[in-house]
Structure formats: structure tokens, C-alpha cells
Amino acid sequence: MNVFIFIVAISVVAYLFYALVHAENI
């Protein structure tokens, strides 16, 4: 697996988790 793809995947998951935790701000 490409390291860049792996890093992007982690970033996306982290962003989605952050958005879920702070969903009340939407």
C-alpha cells in the first residue's frame, strides 16, 4: 500500500471522527 494513500486515509478517518464528536456545532 502506498504510504501517501495510507496517510490520506488516516487523515480522512481523523477528520470524520472529529466531525462526529463535534456534530453539535453543525
pLDDT score of 16 more than 60: yes
Phi/psi of residue 22, each to 5°?
-105, 30
pLDDT score of 26 more than 60: no
Q: How many angstroms separate the CA atoms of 7 and 13, rounded? A: 10
**Confidence class for position 18, pLDDT limits 50, 70, 90:** very high
User: What does pTM read for this prediction?
Assistant: 0.58
Q: How many angstroms separate the CA atoms of 9 and 19, rounded? A: 15
pLDDT for 12: 98
Q: Which amino acid is at 15?
A: Y
Taking Cα atoms as reference points, which of 18, 15, 10 lies closest to residue 1? Answer: 10
- Planar angle of CA 7, 4, 14, nearest 5 degrees: 15
pLDDT digits (tens, 9 = 90+) for 5-15: 999 999 999 99
